[in-house]
Amino acid sequence: MLKPGGRLIMSVNHPAGYAIVYPEADDFAVTKYSEDYTFDGQPVWLTFWHRPLHAMTDAFAAAGFHIATISEPPPAPDTPPELTPPNMEGHLAFMCFLFFVLEAV
């Protein structure tokens, strides 16, 4: 529990990314989905929840938070090229994460 004025800083998957990867899906619905990845040669199955922006902001308000900041930061300048998404040359940001700074009311 945060005191009034206390801050919570969080990162979430960018909701627009879901619409790009799953164009046939309802991007305004809260949706559970899974994807397979390989980490260090090992296959893994990760499960996510897509939440549209309005669902996130409504939940923050219902929990007693005020949104102080929403940001879509770019990759760090020293990020190795092999770790950035393809075709990033000349772009300052990409839709991967949203960062929120929430303040307890």
pLDDT tens digits along 6-49: 999 999 999 998 998 999 999 999 999 999 999 999 999 999 99
| Coil vs helix vs strand at 66 | strand
Binning pLDDT at 50, 70 and 90, where does residue 86 land?
confident
Phi/psi-derived region of residue 41, left when phi > 0, alpha when psi is between -120 and 50, beta in every other case: left
Can you point out the beta strands (E) in 5-41? 7-13, 31-39
Kindly report the pTM of this predicted structure: 0.79
Binning pLDDT at 50, 70 and 90, where does residue 90 land?
low
Binning pLDDT at 50, 70 and 90, where does residue 92 land?
low
User: 8-12, 85-89, 94-98 — which one is most confidently predicted on average?
Assistant: 8-12
Measure the CA–CA gap between 104 and 1, rounded to whole angstroms: 9
